[in-house]
Chain A
């Protein structure tokens, strides 16, 4: 039983903001009077907060691989994959070149001098390192040597909009012409987007071996040390803290997210329930 001054603490990928709000709406109906403490973060940053000693009952991240890399077995015993997504190029109606850009010409459109595009910080957010992986895969897929470096040089510095919400907000307000996002984020924001070929958008497990050829160096859990991570299909996962004070409630919430109600919510929010 949870006390009146206590709350169930949930840390989650900021890309899951709407999903979490809707799940909590349902969960609160079934558990009236229950209090929640929500923390939307970059998933990599979130996992490191747990490593630094912050306490949460439920952890929902945008990359299932983060659990194995940073949280299992010390902080989380096991974790479930509950949704999939893909990387797309979001834009707004005032984006320069928005009437001409297509899935075939996006590289050349983004590299036009007057066009601006941005990505998130790869040290904090899976979307950041996944964007770099998409660029590496695009270099191979389109047989354009040097494309990865060219895109990296032309992109707005990642420190300008480091987190997912910063970047989505900048795109929504028209501060940037194009941004690399999850398709679910573009759908939730009501923004148009360009879908990329499945061989590079990190959506299809059939191309897992091809995605694996992409790799990005990020800060590891040991301060000052780096780790190389490889491309894989985009999968979101949920785990429960081994130290949760309310394991039964945490499990009920996970059951909701991974059950039929959660599937409908994920669907509404543009994610693919797994």
Chain B
């Protein structure tokens, strides 16, 4: 029998798909600049993977352009000035949609796991039946 191998990376949801929701949530919690967001994202329990600087800054620019967040330069009192990002009302709406979508996905995944465990149980019972004959 051919053994089908599926790599872990094939099963992972691409980081680009979920990073916008993660950034919106972090900015909803408090306005931040990109440097701090990268640190907060990598410390968050909900991160989908290692968030690199290029991915975070690219998504921040995209969301800024789309009006989900807004930014301005904040001059540092004792350090460098950085672009500070804030959530907009459009961003809040988008975050709500994301949260509903993720909740639906979670329910579907739980249903899948439940169905899978039933299937696994039936397989074990079938194998036990074969061994007994």
Contact = CB atoms under 8 A, between A and B. Distances in A.
Interface of A: 64, 67-68, 78-81, 84, 86, 198, 203-206, 208, 233, 235, 237, 258, 263, 272-274
30 contacts: A67-B80, A68-B79, A78-B76, A78-B81, A80-B75, A80-B81, A81-B80, A81-B81, A81-B82, A84-B53, A84-B57, A198-B50, A203-B52, A203-B54, A204-B50, A204-B53, A205-B36, A205-B38, A206-B39, A206-B43, A206-B51, A208-B39, A233-B35, A233-B53, A235-B35, A258-B73, A263-B61, A272-B54, A274-B82, A274-B83
Contacts of B54: 84, 203, 272
B38 A206 contact: yes
A80 B80 contact: yes
Given A263-B61, A272-B57, A198 B52 contact: yes
Given A203-B53, A206-B51, 14 more contacts: A78-B76, A78-B81, A80-B80, A80-B82, A198-B52, A203-B54, A204-B38, A205-B38, A206-B39, A258-B73, A273-B57, A273-B61, A274-B82, A274-B83
B72 to A, nearest CB: 11
A205 B51 CA distance: 10
B73 A237 contact: no
A204 B36 CA distance: 11
B28 interface: no
Nearest to B65: A260
B34 interface: yes
B42 interface: yes
A79 B39 contact: no
Interface string B16-50: 00000000000000000011101101110000001
Nearest to A254: B73
A272 B43 CA distance: 22
Contacts of A84: 53-54, 57
A64 B53 CA distance: 16
Contacts of A205: 35-36, 38-39, 53
A64 B82 CA distance: 11
Nearest to B37: A205
Contacts of A64: 80
Nearest to B75: A78
B39 A274 contact: no
A222 B36 CA distance: 33
B39 A235 contact: no
